[in-house]
Amino acid sequence: MGTLFAWTIAAVAVAVLVALALSLFRVAAMRRRLDAEARARRMVEQRLAECERQLETVFESLPECMKLHTEDGTIQTMNPAGLAMVDADSPTQVIGESVYRFIAPEFHERYRAATSAVFRGRSCSLEFRLLGLKGTERMIETHVVPARDHRGRVVAAMALTRDVTKYQDAEERARRHLSELARMARIASMGEMASGIAHELNQPLTAIATYAGAGLRRLDAAGGAPEVAALLADISAQARRAGQIIRNIRSLVSRSEPSTTAVDINDVVLTVVGLVGPEAKQHGIEVHTDLDGAAALVCARRIEIEQVLFNLLKNAIEAMSESGGSDLRVSVSTRRVDRQHVDVAVCDTGPGIAAPDLTRVFGPFYTTKAEGMGMGLSISRSIVEAHHSHLSVQPNADRGVTFRFALPVSKSRVLKVAA
């Protein structure tokens, strides 16, 4: 009996030991699993922290403004570029403020509409005038997208904004430059027409004075009526007076020696190419430049040379757009031909000019366009001649024509020639 009891106690002890060992094994396994999960969690946390640092670095270093704001416009965060854009010295001047504080009043409704669309899940782009804390104003282009939480709900509007003031200023300068060229063309057109009319009127007035003088002499020789002689004398005097008036008008509108300065001819070419570039691209025409660095400065009046190049390029583009075809190109080149002159050439691959017309294209009112005035080349020739040069045109070997003129090299940075 005692032996049985001892065996029972031993069996129970063994079972307890086995259960304890299994429990310890399970605990060890659980601990290893928990340790592995903890390591994995720490790795995930480290990766998340690294991603946060990277996102924060991107957010902080973006050269354009990035901000988050609520549906009512309350700013939640803004990066340093945005703070600089609104003239803020610290985030406390912006965080918690309304975005509408920095938007010109006339754009508030448009921005509210865009914000409402964003909180409905859409993206929007718009331009508005930004008001800085220190009174500066900028034209802004912004793209606003929804910022969502882990459940996909829109919790903020995220706006990426850039300053487009300089681009709009450049467009405005180009527009004003085109307007100035057009104004100069109108003035020059009126001058050319007035000069031509004055020339044509001066001839019959001279004839009237001559015939009246001849009639007066014959009448005097024949001892004719003094009343008729007085009338002929008045006719002759008034004809001479009218002729002098016409000559004064012609002198006034004719192109006298212009006031010139040292001009970078390559910069002039690039400016005009920039003006005609969009129109050329619209018609599939390539505009090339071949500029000689040794061309340096020329003695010229910049706005007038710009007008010449503008007329030549505009004519080439219009001719090629009307004729169609492939490989449509126009190129402008500058070349230092000698110590005194720089050659400027405009070459196109257009339909060309018929041989009989090569000597007529520079005449006033000559045009092949249905609505053209025929004054562009005539004005250009007058401008070039006023610069003591000659505007010529020659057909190319394959197709198209080349217009060419030369300008004197400037001997100093600033030159003045009295008018």
Which of 4-13, 84-93, 306-315 shows the lowest mean pLDDT across its residues?
A: 4-13
| pTM as predicted | 0.46
Do 123 and 35 meet the contact criterion of CB atoms below 8 Å apart?
Answer: no
Claim to verify: residue 85 and residue 159 sit in the same structural domain: yes
Claim to verify: residue 147 and residue 279 sit in the same structural domain: no
Residue 417 has pLDDT above 50, yes or no: no
The pLDDT score that the predictor gives to residue 415 is: 40
Q: What is the pLDDT of residues 354-365, one digit of tens each?
A: 777 777 777 654
Residue 326 lies in a domain: yes
DSSP string, 314-377: HHHHHHHHHH--SS-EEEEEEEE-SSSEEEEEEEE-SS---GGGTTTTTSTT--SSTT--S-HH
Claim to verify: residue 238 and residue 333 sit in the same structural domain: no
| CATH number of 249's domain | 1.10.287.130
Residue 293 lies in a domain: yes
Average pLDDT rounded to a whole number, residues 102-124 = 91
Claim to verify: residue 200 and residue 327 sit in the same structural domain: no
Residue 1 lies in a domain: no
Q: Which of 163, 188, 204 is the last residue of a domain?
A: 163
Residue 155 lies in a domain: yes
Residue 377 has pLDDT above 70, yes or no: yes
Q: What is the pLDDT of residues 266-282, one digit of tens each?
A: 999 998 888 888 888 88
Under the banding of pLDDT at 50, 70 and 90, the label for residue 414 is very low
In sequence order, the β-bridge partners of residue 286 are 329
Q: What total of structural domains would you count in the chain? A: 3
Claim to verify: residue 67 and residue 151 sit in the same structural domain: yes
Claim to verify: residue 246 and residue 360 sit in the same structural domain: no
Claim to verify: residue 322 and residue 232 sit in the same structural domain: no
Q: In what order do the strands lie in the sheet with 154-163?
A: 75-78, 65-69, 154-163, 137-148, 124-131
Claim to verify: residue 159 and residue 103 sit in the same structural domain: yes
Q: Which of 128, 145, 163 is the last residue of a domain?
A: 163
Residue 414 lies in a domain: no
The pLDDT score that the predictor gives to residue 106 is: 92
Question: How far is residue 376's CA from residue 395's CA, in Å, rounded to a whole number?
Answer: 19
Residue 7 lies in a domain: no
Claim to verify: residue 77 and residue 184 sit in the same structural domain: no
Average pLDDT rounded to a whole number, residues 242-248 = 62
| CATH number of 288's domain | 3.30.565.10
| CATH number of 154's domain | 3.30.450.20
Which of 174-188, 214-228, 363-377 shows the lowest mean pLDDT across its residues?
A: 363-377
Claim to verify: residue 391 and residue 272 sit in the same structural domain: yes
Claim to verify: residue 143 and residue 190 sit in the same structural domain: no
Residue 345 has pLDDT above 90, yes or no: yes
The pLDDT score that the predictor gives to residue 52 is: 65
Mean of per-residue pLDDT scores for the chain: 78
The pLDDT score that the predictor gives to residue 286 is: 92
Question: How far is residue 217's CA from residue 223's CA, in Å, rounded to a whole number?
Answer: 10
Q: Which of 199, 230, 253 is the last residue of a domain?
A: 253
- Please give the residue range of the domain that contains residue 211: 171-253
The pLDDT score that the predictor gives to residue 416 is: 40
Claim to verify: residue 249 and residue 296 sit in the same structural domain: no
The pLDDT score that the predictor gives to residue 359 is: 72
Residue 78 has pLDDT above 50, yes or no: yes
Residue 6 lies in a domain: no
Residue 15 lies in a domain: no
Task: Please give the residue that has the higher pLDDT: either 180 or 162.
Answer: 162
Question: How far is residue 129's CA from residue 107's CA, in Å, rounded to a whole number?
Answer: 7
The pLDDT score that the predictor gives to residue 56 is: 66
